[in-house]
Amino acid sequence: MRHRRILITGVAGFIGFHVARRLLREGYNVTGIDNINPYYDVQLKRDRVALLQAFPTFTWIEGDIGSPDMLDAAFQQPPEIILHFAAQAGVRYSLEQPLTYIENNVVAFTRLLEACRRYPPEHLVFASSSSVYGGIQDVPFREEQCTEFPVSVYAATKKADELLAHTYSHLFGIPTTGIRLFTVYGPWGRPDMAYFLFTKAILEGQPIRIYNQGQMKRDFTYIDDVVEAIVRLLPRAPEPEVHPQAPTGAPYRVYNLGSDRPVRLGDFVHELERLLGKEAEKQWLPLQPGDIPETWADVSRLEAVIGFRPSTELSEGLRAFVAWYLDYYAHRPSTEVIPSEKVRP
């Protein structure tokens, strides 16, 4: 039976927006909440929300889930499924503003878990990150590997979320799934991400910063593949059984969600140059604090559950992003982005 009431936090964000639009197109009732924080271009976030508001089954709440009043409003009709994407993003920025990350990623998530304790959903799905793997060099990353040694504050908050989610799942029987996302890209993307800033800089003839001398590798994952995987996971709430990820018997699981095809950053830039028809002016820089040299997702566990694995080729996904970027900024020529030193590869 189709679930009718879905709550999405961070709905004005990149992934939250795309998941919401897919569910609304399929006829679900979606309530979306977002605080529209100014970490990156606020107008881009509002333009995403405007597209969602065109659907009659969308309910928009502008507010912070860290506020009990906002959560009370979101839970007036308790949702059957909750998708939690709200978070303070950015690895390098977390070195500058660690308390912001604790408040938005840990405290706010705990408030959401408390709401789930009062009004248990059929399934809580939350966004974790590949950054929890820290400096592990044994690739591809597998869910059973140790994730106890994060190398950035952002990663530490995402690991804390996983621990809190498991604890609430164990104590209160909340079926919970964590998704470790690997460098998601595509149309309507985040302006703080490297591919977005690179595109802007190349078109404007500005230099781009390439860290780790271009040898950094990332498991770039196209947004449509991410949405497909998440939608397939919604009806597959974990069962309360002893499992390697939940030896307590909690109805809790965590999955990698990546392409399983890491790409060297230098090669990524070359493909972007080809699509834009313009060569970038490059500044080659060392690995930065908080960065990890390679991410690579083993997605076999996810594929076994949902019968799907990401398959979009980088050239195809980047082509779609570039086409969107050129069209969007042709109609909205001014663009606001955060300083490039906060860019995340």
66-114, pLDDT tens digit by residue?
988 899 989 999 999 999 999 998 887 888 899 999 999 999 999 999 9
Residue 30 has pLDDT above 70, yes or no: yes
What pLDDT is stored for residue 331 in this prediction?
Answer: 84
> Span 23-30, mean pLDDT?
96
338 confidence band (pLDDT: 50, 70, 90): very low
- Is the CATH number of domain 185-219+261-295+312-342 3.50.50.60? no
pLDDT top residue among 4 and 190? 190
154 is an active site residue: yes
Residue 139 has pLDDT above 50, yes or no: yes
CATH class of 5-183+221-257: alpha beta
Residue 210 has pLDDT above 50, yes or no: yes
Q: Which two tokens stand for residue 205?
A: 């003839």
Residue 341 has pLDDT above 80, yes or no: no
Residue 225 has pLDDT above 80, yes or no: yes
What pLDDT is stored for residue 2 in this prediction?
Answer: 55
- Rounded to 5 degrees, φ, ψ at 266 are -60, -40
Cα 261 from Cα 283, distance rounded (Å): 25
Residue 268 has pLDDT above 70, yes or no: yes
> Span 138-167, mean pLDDT?
96
Closest CA to 208 of 216, 197, 217: 197
Name the DSSP letter for residue 231. Answer: H
> Span 229-248, mean pLDDT?
93
Please state which of the ranges 67-76, 217-226, 260-269, 316-325 shows the lowest mean pLDDT: 67-76
> Span 181-200, mean pLDDT?
96
What pLDDT is stored for residue 245 in this prediction?
Answer: 83
| Domain 5-183+221-257 identical in fold to domain 185-219+261-295+312-342 | no
What pLDDT is stored for residue 342 in this prediction?
Answer: 43
Strand partners, 221: 184
Please state which of the ranges 38-47, 121-130, 200-209, 331-340 shows the lowest mean pLDDT: 331-340
Catalytic residue among 154, 168, 195, 252: 154
> Span 15-22, mean pLDDT?
98
Pairing outcome for strands 29-34 and 5-9: parallel
Q: Which two tokens stand for residue 308?
A: 């799907």
Q: Would you kindly state where each structural domain of the chain is located, as residue ranges? A: 5-183+221-257, 185-219+261-295+312-342
Q: What is the mean pLDDT of the chain?
A: 93
Cα 275 from Cα 257, distance rounded (Å): 26
Residue 231 has pLDDT above 80, yes or no: yes
Residue 343 has pLDDT above 70, yes or no: no
> Span 146-162, mean pLDDT?
95
Burial class for 252, CB neighbours closer than 10 Å (0-12, 13-18, 19+): buried
What pLDDT is stored for residue 1 in this prediction?
Answer: 39
344 confidence band (pLDDT: 50, 70, 90): very low
**Residue at token pair 């050129």:** 326
> Span 131-153, mean pLDDT?
94
Residue 54 has pLDDT above 50, yes or no: yes
How many CB atoms lie under 10 A from the CB of residue 316?
A: 12
